[in-house]
Structure formats: C-alpha cells, structure tokens
Amino acid sequence: MKVIMQWTYHASKKPSAVFVSDWLEAGIALVITEDLEKAGRLKEVEYKDEFDTAWTKKELKKLLTEVEEEPQDVTIFFDGGHLKEEGLAGIGVAIYFRQGKKFWRLRANLKLEQFESNNEAEYAAFHEAIRQLDDLGVHHQSCVFKGDSLVVLNQLSGEWPCMEENLNKWLDRIEAKLNKLKIIPVYKPISRKDNQEADRLATLALEGKAIFSKSEIAGSKEPYQQ
C-alpha cells in the first residue's frame, strides 16, 4: 500500500510550513513520521492512499497490523481460450504472492459455456483472477496483472475504447470488483511464450481437466518477476 504523506512543521516562535511527500510505502511513511515526532517539529500529519482516502497515523498503523499476514507483492498471470463452434471457453489463472516470509503460487482454471469470442474468454479469465484475489483476502494494494491479450489490458487501462456490449459488461464487472477491494491494477502485457503457465491451464480446462492448487514455492525473492 502506497500513500502520500502531508505534515505540518511547527516550532515555537518560528514559521510553520506544510510539506507533501512523494508516493511512499505506508510502512516507510510511518517510520518517517516517528522520526519527525522525535525531533519535536511535527504538528499534524495525514496520509492519502491511491484511492484518495485519508488516514490518520492511528488508522494507518491499525490497517498495516491487520494486513501484515495477508498476501502481499501479488502478481497475476491470466489467459483465456475459445472454441468457436462449441461456444466453449477455457480460462487459466496463476497467482504468485508473498505471505509473511513465505512465497506461494495459486493455480486455477475453469471451463465455461456460451462464450462468443476469445476476447470474452480473456475477460472472463481476468475476472476469475480478481475473484481468487478476493478469496485470498487481497485488498488495499497494487497488483500486477500480466497477460498476452493487448485488447483486454489496453481496454481496461483506458488506452483503447471498448465498443462491444458483451465486453463492456465484463469491463464494468472487473472495475467494480477492483474498486470494492481497493486494488490498484498495474497492467503489463507479455508474450505468449511468457504466459505459458496460464495458457496451459486454459487449455486443460477446455480438455475437461479442472485444476485448483495452492503451494509454497522456494526462494527469498519473487521468482515470478519478469
């Protein structure tokens, strides 16, 4: 979670001044606050998150305590496949995250019916990824979404217009869910080669092979960062 810190400098018989920081990790903002308090020059402080929600020091400390053991540093890979004649879609999602000092991977896929296009399948995969984030308890943070669908990523980011009614419905659902969870999406297009895991999960779904697993992965750094 990132915040902008605004504080008032005050000292006896000296001018007051208001300072505003760049974006900071919330934990770092609290460390800076405590340092300013020790110097005796801090009169007031407020923090604003990426949704423009204002927090007091007490509220921010409470929030960070609550989310300490929740998933952090989340990266999501998604993909969708479509069989036009059958109207079937296969979607695949791989989510990597840190929880405490451990790193985890969640893999899931689904076979869906009555789908019109591959783009719709890609949107469904993205929506399923957010549903899985909700189940994991991910909220109030930035998450990186990686996929090989430029249509979905550019339409969600607002770079491209979305003219198709059925895709707009998916887009609206996704945006509503992201807002509810207070998730800031970071969209990163990748090649099909770099999206093989999610692609394989989508293919297995079309073959009728359902997968859902959550497993710990080794390493002290995020092995999924690309």
* 110-151: pLDDT as tens digits: 999 999 999 999 999 999 999 999 999 998 889 999 999 999
| pLDDT in the model for residue 100 | 83
Confidence band of 226 (pLDDT split at 50, 70, 90): very low
Q: What is the DSSP string of 16-53?
A: -EEEEEEEEEHHHHHHHHHHHHHHT-EEEEEEEETT--
* 2-11: pLDDT as tens digits: 899 999 988 7
Using a cut of 0.85, tell me whether the model's pTM lies above it: no
In terms of residues, how long is the chain?
226
* 214-223: pLDDT as tens digits: 999 976 445 4
Element (H, E) at 88: strand 88-99
| Contact call for residues 97 and 123 (beta carbons, < 8 A) | no
* 16-75: pLDDT as tens digits: 899 999 999 899 999 999 999 998 888 899 999 988 889 999 999 998 887 777 898 999
- Residues 10-16, mean pLDDT to the nearest whole number: 78
Q: Mean pLDDT, the chain, as a whole number?
A: 92
| pLDDT in the model for residue 91 | 98
Q: Which residue has the higher pLDDT, 204 or 67?
A: 204
Residue type, 87: G
